[in-house]
Amino acid sequence: MPKVESAQLELSAINPHIRIDAINDRLDDKHIAAHIAACDLLLDCSDNVAMRDRLNSLCHA
Residue 10 has what pLDDT? 95
Q: Which helix (H) or strand (E) holds 13?
A: helix 3-14
At 6 the pLDDT is 93
pLDDT tens for the chain, 61 residues long, are 988 899 999 999 999 999 998 888 877 777 888 888 888 888 888 888 988 898 888 888 7
d(CA 38, CA 3): 22
Residues 6 or more apart whose CB falls under 8 angstroms from that of 27 comprise 35
| Cα–Cα dist 27/29, whole Å | 7
For 45, phi then psi, to 5°, come to -120, 25
Q: Structural domain of residue 26, as residue ranges?
A: 3-59
Number of domains into which the chain is organized: 1
User: What's this model's pTM, rounded to 2 decimal places?
Assistant: 0.65
